[in-house]
Structure 1
Amino acid sequence: MTSTNKNVRAIAMDLLVTIEKNQSYSNLLLNNTIEKHQLSPVDVGLLTELTYGTLQRKMVLDYFLNPFIKENKKLANWIHHLLRVTLYQMVYLDRIPDRAAIYEAVEIAKSRGHKGIASLVNGVLRSIQRQGLPSLNDISDPIERLSIETSHPQWLVTRWVNQFGYEKTKEMCEINLTAPLQTARVNLTKISRDECVTVLEEDGYQIEKSPIIPEAIRSLKGNLASTIAFKYGMFTIQDESSMLATYALGAMPNEYVLDACAAPGGKSTHIAEKMNNTGEVISVDLHQHKVRLINENAKRLGLENIITSVSDSRHIQEKFKTESFDRILLDAPCSGLGVMRRKPDMKYTKTENDLARLSSIQQDLLTSVTPLLKKGGTLVYSTCTVDKEENELTVKTFLENHPEFVGDPTFKNRMPEAIQPLITGYDLQIFPQDFGSDGFYIAVLKKA
């Protein structure tokens, strides 16, 4: 059964209601919804655009809507979402005429509510069409204006401006409103990047080689996870920033390596590939179902040097011998502020308290894994966030409390050439605007 565009708008509205009500992850919910409704590729594209686009720009859409609905403050949730979805189409989607978007909204309002609601929805949208949008220039405070304009909570914009300056924050907020490219890491133990590109292009995919990572590719059109090449383990889906953690770690063949927070296994499998299927990569995660994902990925990629373990890395010393690992990667739980383009709903649910709480968990994890590292061994701490408290300050505090560790600036030499100019010491903060990948932090430490 193929859905019509009319239904797609109603489905988008329902999705947005569920995401807000249950604080569900938009990416997981969207995938489940696409499967459930068996949507055509065209409808999948529209549903994704409407759901993510409306979420991405929720605050600015509300700013535009507020003067027109202030008499009706007690609108049901679904009506708010219907108005947002429709206004998103009117303001940001050129290919959908306003009259079509308004007509569909009124039809949905009729079927979900009653004539009165349909008339209210029609009235609000026609008034906006007639009078135009309120101007953002009416907001005099530049931080508040940037917050509304790019739909990022004001506390976060203020925090970023204090940490990175206004210009860098503005660039980051603006790129967070755009859709990320899907990227993948070619499994060089099975196939070369050139061969993989040829296979995918013959399959009708539009592929570009990553200018950043030698084994990465970008999909300009089409979902790589649904290819035969993926099924046969020729590559794995992973962001380019995330691939850099393995370069920073620098694992060599036949080493004994720990990946302390490993699910779903992107970095573990990358390390295993870099070690050319030799040595051992111990991949640990807290949850059984997530460890299952690591095993599935390793099997699909044909990697036999990954050994998984369901464990809490805060108590990992009980499981492994002191000073037994050559290298340890701690890709720590974090606020995820670097992946907002993939999970736009995250902007509205995170609080400053969450960041402080995570910082103490990160400290605990670092302290617990370090006794397992051999003298002279390498420890990489990484996160997919852009925040000094979770990143630089966490590492600085750790180094102050662990004099046996020092920052290792020599890691720059093993990083891809395109990345080297961004490195000034023993760590690296990648911003989403640097080369269109996720925001990501990496620090490389050595045990004396």
Structure 2
Amino acid sequence: MSKEKKNVREAALELLEAVEKNQSYSNLLLNHFIEKYGIRGPDAGLLTEITYGTLQRKQTLDFFLAPFLQKKVEPWVRNLLRLSLYQMVYLDKIPDRAILFEAVELAKKRGHRGISGMVNGVLRSVQRRGLPSLKEIQDPLERLSVATSHPRWLVERWAEQYGYKTAKEMCEANLAAPVQTARVNMNRTTVEEVAKMLGQEGFKIQPSPVVPEAIRSLKGNLARSAAFREGLITIQDESSMCTAYALDIQKGQHILDCCAAPGGKTTHIAEKLQGTGSVTALDLHEHKIKLILDNAKRLGLSRVEAFAMDSRKAGSRFAKESFDRILVDAPCSGFGVLKRKPDIKYVKSLKDIHALQQVQLSILSEAAGLLKPNGILVFSTCTVDHEENAGTIETFLAHHPDFEPCALQVPEALHSYVADYYRLQIFPQDFGGDGFFISSIRKKA
């Protein structure tokens, strides 16, 4: 059966609407749309660029559009204007006349003559009069918020937690396109062999300067490579790879991964066990358990088991003090992955952060009873919020005197980033990876 055809901008507009209406994650929808409409090659690249770009810069685009909109417009029309303006302002290779033509044609198809005329008029006025200057905004925090399209409350919070300079660097880093990275399955091959194999496939590969078993793809989607299909690599961010180091894994250990899907950390742990011991992975959703097991199978890892269950009830399935190591990669606000999921910054709130910390503490408390004396518990998140990160682990330690901070093991390149010897906060501007927090604590013998 042939796939329904849509041009790139029509698909982009539909995608932006779906993100806004359903609060769906753009990264998941994007892959769905590429398959649904059979978008391939350069068109898939353009769809990714204009969709992510428009989402990333939404507040800035609205600031630019404000002087040209005399009255309220329907959400789809605003998204069409944002989409078109993004291309006019931020993309060099597409001529304005082509952008205007596409916008007007889409407006005619979706609306009526009045709407297409208005869209044409707004975009031509932008061409004629130019854009308002961000320098008009006097308040530095408001200017940073609008210039980088981060909600004001979030910019204020980061500036308060880390200082204006770090907050500004973080906001700017979140606008950069993420570099795809992968972990080489060192049980089956080497970084050099994989790099050579990928090079022959037409990929442009660079060894990671951060994690010894990691590579970066400067050209090509590694998920479509033979190396991926054959289980020689796993797509995973470099920051995320550091959690397996933090566990200080020894052969023969039994390790629990409490919030495991899609299985990147679970399989990294299994690889470091080198065919000994076992890894038990937990996740709330049955379909995600299948994903974890499929990943383990693809990588040739046999000592992985996975169960669909709430980690806050793990004590009902497992014996007390039965694991040597436990990883709690906890649910979080996700403010460290805004390069990949730009829509998060518009939907999360301060209330979410407070609620998430309570969930994190519940999982940690349950995990605490399952850890052997002298065992290591690693707590990690893909966020940069102090309350969810250092705040959570400090609260846990205050209520669990049988635990103490433990020297954090990380790749050598990150030694200088470790704070208070047991905690690591990675920012997206540090080396281009995700914003990530890792801490290591030990159960007293």
TM-score by length of 2: 0.98
Give the residue type in structure 2 aligned to 1:12: A
Partner of 2:47: 47
Aligned equivalent of 2:236: 238
2:71 pairs with 1:72:
yes
Choose which of 333, 344, 358 in structure 2 pairs with 1:346. Answer: 344
C-alpha separation in 2, matches of 1:3 and 1:216: 38
Match of 1:428 among 414, 424, 430: 424
* SS of the residue 1:339 aligns to: coil
- Are 1:417 and 2:416 an aligned pair? no
Greater shift in the superposed pair: 293-302 or 116-125: 116-125
CA distance in 2 between counterparts of 1:196 and 1:189 reads 13
Unmatched segments (≥5 aa) in structure 1: none
Q: SS at the partner of 2:7?
A: helix
Instruction: Name the SS for the 2:374 alignment partner.
Output: strand
- The answer for the alignment partner of 1:125 in structure 2 is 123
Match of 1:268 in 2: 266
| Contact 2:3 2:36 survives alignment (8 Å) | no
User: What is the CA distance between 1:3 and its match in structure 2?
Assistant: 9.7
Matches within 5 A, 1:247-262: 247-262=245-260
Paired letter, 2:437? Y
Paired amino acid for 1:387: D
1:436-447 aligned within 5 A: 436-447=432-443
Cα distance in structure 1, aligned partners of 2:108 and 2:308: 51
Tell me the equivalent position of 1:36.
36
CA contact (8 A) 2:238 2:433 kept: yes
Distance 1:112 1:266 in 2: 42
CA distance in structure 1 between the partners assigned to 2:3 and 2:198 by the alignment: 27
Q: What is the DSSP-based 3-state SS (H/G/I as helix, E as strand, rest coil) of the residue aligned with 1:47?
A: helix
For residue 72 of structure 1, give the secondary structure of its aligned residue in structure 2. coil
Q: Alpha-carbon deviation of 1:67?
A: 0.8
Select the residue among 179, 195, 199 that pairs with 2:177: 179
User: CA separation in 1, counterparts of 2:131 and 2:264?
Assistant: 44
Q: Deviations over 1:414-433 (max 9, x none)?
A: 42111001113210000000
Per-residue Cα deviation, 1:375-398 (whole angstroms, up to 9, x for no partner): 111010000000011000110011
Letter in 2 for 1:427: R
Q: Is the CA contact (8 Å cut-off) linking 1:185 and 1:238 kept in structure 2?
A: yes
Q: Is the 8 A contact 1:3 1:43 kept in 2?
A: no
- State the Cα deviation string for residues 18-37 of structure 1 (Å, max 9, x = none): 11011111011110110111
TM superposition shift of 1:319:
1.1
Q: Cα RMSD between the aligned structures?
A: 1.3
Question: Residue type matched to 1:20 in 2?
Answer: E
1:371 match:
369
Partner of 1:389: 387
1:260-317: CA deviations, max 9, x gaps?
Answer: 1111111010000001021011111111111111100000000011111222111111
Equivalent residue letter for 1:432 = P
Q: How far, CA to CA, are the matches of 2:112 and 2:25 in structure 1?
A: 31
Partner residue in 2 for 1:213: 211
Higher alpha-carbon deviation: 106-115 or 169-178: 106-115
Which residue pairs with 2:15 in the alignment?
Answer: 15
Q: How does 1:135-214 map to 2 (within 5 A)?
A: 135-214=133-212
Supply the AA of the counterpart residue of 1:136: L
SS at structure 2 position matched to 1:94 = coil
Identical-residue share of aligned pairs (%): 57
Q: Does the 8 Å CA contact 1:431/1:440 hold for their aligned counterparts?
A: yes
Give the Cα–Cα distance (whole angstroms) in 1 for the partners of residues 8 and 258 of structure 2: 41
The runs of at least 4 aligned residues of structure 1 exceeding 6 Å deviation read: 1-4
Aligned to 1:288: 286
Q: Distance in 1 between matches of 2:154 and 2:269?
A: 34
What is the alpha-carbon distance in structure 1 between the residues aligned to residue 287 and residue 372 of structure 2?
30
2:412 aligns to what SS in structure 1?
A: coil
**Would you say how many aligned residue pairs link Structure 1 and Structure 2?**
442
Give, in angstroms, the shift of residue 72 of structure 1. 2.0
Specify the code of the residue in structure 1 equivalent to 2:16: L
Q: Match of 1:408? A: 406
Alignment deviations for residues 181-231 of structure 1 (CA, whole Å, 9 cap, x no partner)? 110000011111111111111111111110100000011111111112111
SS in 1 for 2:438: strand
Partner of 1:322: 320
Q: Helix, strand or coil for the counterpart of 1:379?
A: strand
Q: Which amino acid aligns with 1:155?
A: W
Structure 2: gaps (5+ residues):
none
